């Protein structure tokens, strides 16, 4: 548990999920699920380039704390997940400071259309919505739950399918997707043409 529960930790470890967070020594998605033994932001983290993880793709998120599920908190992880339904079709996360679209449209979008959809969204009195990065979208995943891998009381009727992010997956011709059937990452080889679900963030 030496990663400190920050977003500087890692996808791609052999265990699920460690407090190292989301992008660590193993880098990229791995069959074992979330969380390495210690992520890039923790005491055992690998330097960028040793394993191509999200920290190397998008270093701008490395300082904010990563929410942990109640299962991990019971095992000693910091930053318990505290998602709050605002009653106006938005959800606030006091751990990350992000606000989320609560219910998502059944319509799927190709990435350019998803960008336009989020930009046009008016929810909770806000008009600055956008498509989330991979690390942002992963922050609402609760891998201790079944399908879907997030709290259905907070995010009702979420399709257990692939959701778009803006984070490129190893090249400029693919993006990371978050699979809400189990909370794992997928690289979308068909980017930018495949229509996917989207949950906007601000």
Percentage helix, strand, coil for the chain under 3-state DSSP, each rounded to 5: 15, 20, 65
Count of the separate structural domains present in the chain: 2
Per-residue pLDDT at 20: 36
Together in a domain, 91 and 107:
yes
pTM score of the predicted model: 0.69
Q: Tokens 């989330």 map to which residue?
A: 132
Together in a domain, 4 and 27:
yes
Predicted confidence (pLDDT) per residue in 119-144, tens digit: 999 999 999 999 999 999 999 999 88
Per-residue pLDDT at 158: 93
- Rounded-to-integer distance, Cα 106 and Cα 172, Å: 27
- Rounded-to-integer distance, Cα 100 and Cα 120, Å: 15
Q: Tokens 């020594």 map to which residue?
A: 25
Residue 200 lies inside a defined structural domain of this protein: no
Q: Which domain holds residue 10?
A: 1-80
Q: Is 171 exposed, middle or buried (0-12, 13-18, 19+ CB in 10 A)?
A: exposed
Residue 196 lies inside a defined structural domain of this protein: no
Per-residue pLDDT at 17: 32
Together in a domain, 135 and 146:
yes
Together in a domain, 166 and 176:
yes
Task: Give per-10-residue mean pLDDT for the chain (202 aa).
Answer: 36 32 35 34 34 41 71 84 95 95 94 94 97 93 87 93 88 83 82 86 96
């Amino acid at each position: 548990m030496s990663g400190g529960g920050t977003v500087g930790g890692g996808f791609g470890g052999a265990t699920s999920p460690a407090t190292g967070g989301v992008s660590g020594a193993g880098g990229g998605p791995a069959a074992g699920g979330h969380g390495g033994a210690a992520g890039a932001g923790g005491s055992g983290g690998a330097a960028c380039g040793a394993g191509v993880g999200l920290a190397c793709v998008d270093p701008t998120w490395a300082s904010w704390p990563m929410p942990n599920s109640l299962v991990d908190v019971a095992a000693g992880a910091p930053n318990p997940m505290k998602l709050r339904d605002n009653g106006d079709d938005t959800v606030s996360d006091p751990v990350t400071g992000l606000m989320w679209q609560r219910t998502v449209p059944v319509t799927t979008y190709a990435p350019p259309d998803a960008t336009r959809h989020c930009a046009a969204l008016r929810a909770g009195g806000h008009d600055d919505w956008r498509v989330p990065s991979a690390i942002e979208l992963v922050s609402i995943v609760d891998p201790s739950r079944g399908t879907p891998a997030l709290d259905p009381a907070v995010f009702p009727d979420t399709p257990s399918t692939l959701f778009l992010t803006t984070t490129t997956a190893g090249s400029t011709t693919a993006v990371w997707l978050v699979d809400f059937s189990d909370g794992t990452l997928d690289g979308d080889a068909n980017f930018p043409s495949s229509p996917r679900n989207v949950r906007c963030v601000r």
